[in-house]
Structure 1
Amino acid sequence: MDILGLINTFIRVVENGSIAAAARAQGMSAAAVSQSITRLETHLGVRLLSRTTRSMALTESGTRYFDKVRHIPRDIDLASQAATVASEPQGPLRIATTAAFGRHVLAPLLPAFSAAYPRIDIELISTDRRVDHRLEGIDVSIRIKAQLTDQMIARHIASRPFLFCASPAYLDRAGIPATPQDLQEHACLVFRYPTDGRFLPWTFIRDGKRFEARVKPGFVCDDIDIIARIAANGGGIARLASFVAQPFIDSGQLLQLFQPDSRNLACAEPEPMDIYACVTERSALNAKVRAFIDFLAEALRSD
């Protein structure tokens, strides 16, 4: 009997709040997870979970048992890391990133990372929703400053410009904004965070001070690539990361606004995008995570 496997399934059920959620997290059927819990209870001779068709709760024995075993998977992982610290980084690596960064930046880099570390098995979760490292088994996430929380340990790995862009057709029709204050007279294509419904602010730096421009939303969307295409088709002005905007600029579909002017040192410049690699705790910085973060930081530095 694989007691450690049964214990791990029990922990997943408790942490996920239900058998169905634990089954999804482990890639198992709900019936298989339920059977694992039953086998563990039979082995221990006690009821760990009180289950009905609508709810699940720890019994008193289950609560005591969970408190004693909840650390076991982490201890085993740390022991494995200690035993293989001098060996090549290896094992599964789950990376979470925003959809646009994953599509435009990570996807082109991952083949080179895999070639450098062939014993690391990569799973990329590309989403703009909020991810939970512990519940979803995420090893490392790539986030921008607005997505950081106090619970994360974050390492700054790169900065990329934000570019304000619009199509030639839109600018011919609506005119070219000369200052950030002019944006409130234009149709602005605004990105809404799927996690909390906030608009991504349009921020600038002038004389070393950060300020937010007032905008009039012409379109609102939670997909930055859709916003870029709306802008390219004359829908208004968009604030895009350079890795999203540059192909449209190179093809002439978009023109860049508010470009730095060396003759006017007091002009306002778009605040850049700061990119961070995040883990939940220091112990999560194992060999494979460090290898990925170092690789990504170096690749973005030389990009």
Structure 2
Amino acid sequence: MNVLALINSFIRVVECGSIAAAARAQGMSPAAVSQNLSRLEAHLNVRLLSRTTRSMALTDSGARYYEKVRHIPRDLELASQAAAGADEPQGPLCVATTAAFGRHVLAPLMPAFKAAHPRIDIELISTDRRVDHRLEGVDVSLRIAAQLDERLIARRIASRPFVVCASPGYLERAGVPDSPEALKDHACLVFRYPTDGRFLPWGFVRDGQRFEAQLNAQFVCDDIDMLAQIAVNGGGIARLASFVAQPLIDSGRLLPLFEATQRRQAYAEPEPMEIYACVAERSALNAKVRALIAFLEAALEGDAKSPVA
């Protein structure tokens, strides 16, 4: 009897919330996972899960057992790497990232990371919703400050400017705002978080003091690239991360506002985007995750010195 396989099925059922979801995560049939649970309970001579046709819950014994065994799969992976003299990180690595950062920054870097660590197999999840590390098998997530979760361990790895910008056509038609306070009189293109429905505020810093601009939200969207295209086509003023805005500025389709070269008495600098690498617990900082964080810190620090950032 492979007790470790039985334990792994039990852990997946608890973390995925159902036998069917655990079966999908393990690439097994629901019947096989259910059989593994029954075999484990018979082996322990104790009921771990109370199961009906409609619901499933840990028993008191099951909850205590889960707390003792939930680290076993990760500990075994670390032990295997240590036994193999794993100077080179290896194995599957699941990375969740915000959609725009993943599309514009992370994806172009991944071939170089893979070349540096050929034994790491990478899975990317690109989404602005809140991902559950344990439920979805995520090793590390890349989030901005507004998405941080107190239940996760976060490490800041990079900073990118936000750029307030609009198309030449819009500015010719509506005028050029001379300060963040003037945004209330302009059509603003606002990003809404899909997780909780709130708007992403436009933060500014003036004389060391942070404040949020009052916005006249004329377009609202949960996809930043759609907002960028609305801005390009004259829909209003957008606040875009530099990695989204700069190519559009370089091509002349958007013009930046509130630049340092446009300093006036009311000058205020857009608050930057802070990017964090997050893990569920310290034991999740294995060799693969540390390799990715080190790679991104080096790559993004170098890129920050380029004109784009």
Under TM normalisation by the shorter chain, which class is it? over 0.9
Give the SS at the match of 2:261: coil
CA contact (8 A) 2:154 2:276 kept: yes
Q: Which amino acid aligns with 2:269?
A: E
Moved over 6 A (4+): none
Ranges in structure 1 where 5+ consecutive residues have no aligned partner: none
Deviations 1:194-246 (A, max 9, x none): 11111100011111111100001101111101111111111111110011111
Q: What corresponds to 1:302 in structure 2?
A: 302
TM-score norm. by structure 1 comes to 0.93
TM-superposed CA distance for 1:146, in Å, is: 1.0
Give the direction of change, closer, same or farther, for the CA distance of 1:17–1:143 in structure 2 (3 Å limit): same
* In structure 1, distance between residues paired with 2:40 and 2:11: 12
Structure 1 distance, partners of 2:60, 2:262, is 70
1:256-284 CA-partner distances (Å, limit 9, x unpaired): 11111376586201111111111222222
Cross-structure match for 1:75? 75
CA offset at residue 124 of structure 1?
0.7
SS at match of 1:261: helix
Identify the residue that residue 238 of structure 2 maps to in structure 1: 238
For the 8 Å contact 2:190–2:199, the answer to whether it is kept is: yes
Does the residue aligned with 1:239 lie in a helix, a strand or coil? Answer: strand
For 2:10, the aligned partner's letter is F
Which consecutive unaligned segments of at least 5 residues does structure 2 have? 304-309
Query: Does the 8 Å CA contact 1:13/1:19 hold for their aligned counterparts?
Result: yes
Confirm or deny: 8 A CA contact 1:100 1:225 kept in the other structure: yes
- Corresponding position of 2:292: 292
Give the structure 2 partner of residue 247 of structure 1. Answer: 247
Q: State TM-score, norm by structure 2.
A: 0.91
* Closer/same/farther in 2, CA of residues 254 and 62 from structure 1, 3 Å limit: same
Q: Cα–Cα, structure 1 residues 110 and 257, in superposed 2: closer, same or farther, change >3 Å?
A: same
Shift of 1:254: 1.1
Quick one: which amino acid aligns to residue 151 of structure 1?
R
* CA contact 2:94–2:124 (8 Å) conserved in 1: yes
Q: Deviations over 1:168-215 (max 9, x none)?
A: 111111111111011000111100111111110001111111110000
Where does residue 215 of structure 1 map in the other structure? Answer: 215
Which residue is equivalent to 2:125?
125
Deviation at residue 25 of structure 1 after TM alignment: 3.2
Hey, what's the Cα distance between the residues in 2 that align with 1:44 and 1:85?
34
1:86, distance to aligned residue in structure 2 (A)? 5.0
Aligned-partner Cα distance in 2 for 1:12–1:237: 46
Percent of aligned pairs with the same residue?
76
Task: After TM superposition, give the deviation of residue 19 of structure 1 in Å.
Answer: 1.3
Give the drift of 1:130: 0.4
For 1:212, the aligned partner's letter is E
| Deviation of the 1:156 alpha carbon | 1.6
Q: 1:195 to 1:211 in 2, by over 3 A?
A: same
| Letter matched to residue 121 of structure 1 | D
Range moving further from structure 2, 42-51 or 150-159: 42-51
